[in-house]
Chain A
Amino acid sequence: MSNVCMRRDTGEITGFLSYVPMRLSVMGSLTRASLGSDLSIHPGYTNKGIARDLKRKLTEESAKSGVSFVYATSNPLSTALLCRETAIPIARLKRYSRKLGIYYHLLENLHLPPLVAKTLNSFYAFLAGIKYKRRASALRKALGTNVRSQTQNMAPELFDELWAYMRRVHILSFWKDVEFLKWRYDKNPHSRPLYFCIFKDEKPIALAVVAERKQTAYIMEFICRDRKLSTARFLLNEIERKFLSSNLRALAFGGTDDDFFSTVFKDYSRQPEFDHQMVGQVASDSLLQRLFSEPSNWTLTFGDSDGLII
């Protein structure tokens, strides 16, 4: 749904705000939420309080339709605007990244021709691939028998089984069933997601969604049953192995989940992240009211942010 603000006399549109119906898991129970998105004010009509009025209208309409939680992803400026009234910052994503291969190093620092850089990077990827393969074998062994990994281009139908379990492990997270994954990635005309699945005894125990944008592979979703570290390391190893020879610049992840992600991505460099601050307000729901303002209650990843459109 979208609202516009327009001049009554000329019909000129002066501002715009859309909101996307989303679903939130509050300790495993489904709660309706609205994501405020695409807030835009015509440059000739800034500083008139139009954004505030559009947001107020969104909050009113959401409350009337039974939505318990209204939120937005914002940068520092819009955070200030959104928090001027009743919204508060809920959590900020942390960003982790590491360089992939040596292609860009050879190209930009040693100024080698692209074809030579590509060939040398392939050789590097081949050698590094041996190390990753050995590590995968050791990690798989640590997880027990009948563990396998699989990559695919569409949301895995079996994932609902893992989500049904994990939503009871998370305190607060946005609803991540197969329906969400299809909408967020498979139906996005600009996204070509790659799904990394780990199965044990043919049951899904981990899933990651990775998509490319501007020479970087972004890990958008990263879910491991029981937040088990050995599963997470196997999953991450499979992702890194896949992108070794891709000629991409980096692999990046953004998220917050108490200490889980910082432990999994401990070998990655951390950068300050300013554009993925979640702000929100609760319209109703007393349990959510008690939980939502504590950042450590949230499990969030890049996939929850409309600040990264892939």
Chain B
Amino acid sequence: MEISKESSGNSPEALVIRALQDDEYAEVCKITELAHGVPFSETGFHWKH
């Protein structure tokens, strides 16, 4: 699913939504912690992954 979003400079960024890959798990943990301010382990049924 391809989408396009405007950045703060009004230039559109091409974004794509796709399935998470195994080697991206650590990065997703970081983003979740940044977004929620709590460890990833406290944001959902994380042991499912």
Asked whether A42 lies within 8 Å of B47 as measured between CB atoms, the reply is no
Of all chain B residues, which has the CB nearest A6? Answer: B16
List the A residue with the shortest CB-CB distance to B35: A40
Chain A interface (Cβ within 8 Å of chain B)? 1-9, 13-16, 18, 20, 35, 37-38, 40-43, 45, 48-50, 53-54, 57, 184, 187-190, 306, 309
CB neighbours (8 Å) of B44 from chain A are 18, 20, 37-38, 306, 309
Given known A-B contacts A38-B43, A53-B1, A306-B45, A43 and B35 have beta carbons under 8 A apart? yes
B45 touches which of A4, A16, A20 (Cβ 8 Å): A20
Which residues of chain B come closer than 8 Å to A42, judged between CB atoms?
Answer: 31, 34-35
CB distance from A174 to the nearest CB of B (A): 12
CB distance from B35 to the nearest CB of A (A): 4
CA distance A40 to B29 in the complex (A): 9
Q: Distance in Å from the Cβ of A213 to the closest Cβ of chain B?
A: 10
Q: Which of B27, B41, B48 has the most C-beta atoms of chain A within 10 angstroms of its own C-beta?
A: B48
* Complex CA distance for A166 and B6, rounded to whole angstroms: 51
Interface residues of B in 12-49 (CB under 8 A from A): 13-20, 24, 27-28, 31-32, 34-36, 40-49
Chain B hits for A38, CB < 8 A: 32, 40, 43-44, 46
Is B17 a contact partner of A18 (Cβ separation < 8 A)? no
CB pair B16–A16 under 8 Å, yes or no, is: no
Q: Which residues of A contact B35 (CB under 8 A)?
A: 40-43
Q: How far is the CB of B7 from chain A (nearest CB, A)?
A: 8
Q: Report yes or no: B31 in contact with A40, Cβ–Cβ below 8 A.
A: yes
Q: How many A-B residue pairs have CB under 8 A?
A: 100
Given contacts A20-B48, A53-B1, A190-B41, contact A2 B16 (CB under 8 A): no
Task: Please determine whether B14 and A9 come into contact, CB atoms closer than 8 angstroms.
Answer: yes
**Contact at A309–B28, with CB atoms within 8 Å?**
no
Provide the residues of chain A in CB contact with B47, threshold 8 Å. Answer: 187-190
CA distance A20 to B17 in the complex (A): 18
Given A2-B19, A16-B28, A309 contacting B3 (CB threshold 8 A) = no
- Residue pair B5, A49 in contact (C-beta under 8 Å): yes
Residues of B in contact with A, size category: 20 to 34
Q: A16-B32, A53-B3 are in contact. Are A9 and B13 (CB under 8 A)?
A: yes
Asked if residues B19 and A7 are in contact (CB atoms below 8 Å), the reply is: no
In the complex, residue of chain A having the shortest beta-carbon distance to the beta carbon of B20: A2
* A36 smallest CB distance to B (angstroms): 9
Distance in angstroms between the alpha carbons of A7 and B46 in the assembled complex: 25
A14-B15, A40-B36 known; A35+B1 contact, CB < 8 A: no
Minimal beta-carbon separation of B26 from chain A (angstroms)? 11
A103 to B19: give the CA distance in the assembly, Å: 49
A–B complex contacts, Cβ < 8 Å, 20 sampled: A1-B19, A3-B19, A5-B17, A7-B14, A9-B14, A15-B31, A18-B44, A18-B48, A18-B49, A35-B45, A37-B43, A40-B31, A40-B32, A40-B36, A42-B31, A48-B6, A53-B15, A57-B1, A189-B47, A309-B43
Beta-carbon contact of B20 and A7 below 8 Å: no
A4: chain B residues at CB < 8 Å are 17-20, 24, 28
Question: Pick the contact of B31 from A8, A13, A187 — CB < 8 Å?
Answer: A13
Contact A309 B41 (CB under 8 A): yes
Q: How far apart are B1's CB and chain A's nearest CB, in angstroms?
A: 5
**B19-A5 in contact (CB<8A):** no
